[in-house]
Copies of this chain bind each other. A is one copy, B any other.
């Protein structure tokens, strides 16, 4: 019942648990991983996890809410930065959004995988919260895309943004991640693919 919990210094154990849980959930699915496995992955075993989380669901919830918030926050930050620069370069802004999303997809593969795979394992309240965050993130993109391509209708822009997310999030699904041509090259390729898709969306 101790209020004012989260002090300052990062509870290393919590983060360690979250990281391992994300990896395991992404590999074998939320229901396919037992709490004993998660515990074993961080050196403690079984119910010791309950000193840090109220339950298994809470770990997944924190992961999904966290990634959704970080994605949305990053998108909004880039839009704000563009506006601070005068806001006249939708091209550069779209590039910044793409780059940020690619960083996420390449550096936090497990989270990206969980993000659109295990969403409905959440309790209603958490699921709605994550969905709302995701929707707002999409709307940030839709706004930027329509600023760059004003002739693109809104619902088509939304479908396009969804499709580009699918494109950018495709690398975690790759069977052998080592078959990629290097991080920078992969990022550059994905970036060009995304821009190509957006450009093709305009030519109605």
Contact = CB atoms under 8 A, between A and B. Distances in A.
Interface of A: 27-32, 116-118, 120-121, 131, 135, 153, 155-156, 158-160, 162-171, 173-175, 179-181, 185-186, 189-190, 192-201, 203
Nearest to A169: B166
Query: How often does this chain occur in the complex, in copies?
Result: 2
A195 B165 CA distance: 16
A200 B195 contact: yes
A197 B167 contact: yes
A163 B155 contact: no
Contact of A162 (B121, B173, B201): B173
Contact of A201 (B164, B175, B193): B193
Given A160-B189, A166-B173, A120 B199 contact: no
Nearest to A152: B189
Contacts of A193: 160, 163-164, 197, 200-201
A32 B198 CA distance: 36
21 contacts: A29-B120, A29-B121, A32-B121, A135-B175, A156-B181, A158-B179, A159-B174, A159-B190, A163-B167, A163-B168, A163-B170, A164-B167, A164-B193, A166-B167, A166-B168, A166-B170, A192-B201, A193-B197, A196-B198, A196-B199, A197-B200
Contacts of A195: 200
Contacts of A32: 31, 120-121
B200 A192 contact: yes
A110 B22 CA distance: 25
A83 to B, nearest CB: 28
A34 to B, nearest CB: 12
A200 B194 CA distance: 8
Contacts of A186: 159
Contacts of A167: 163-164, 166-167, 170, 197
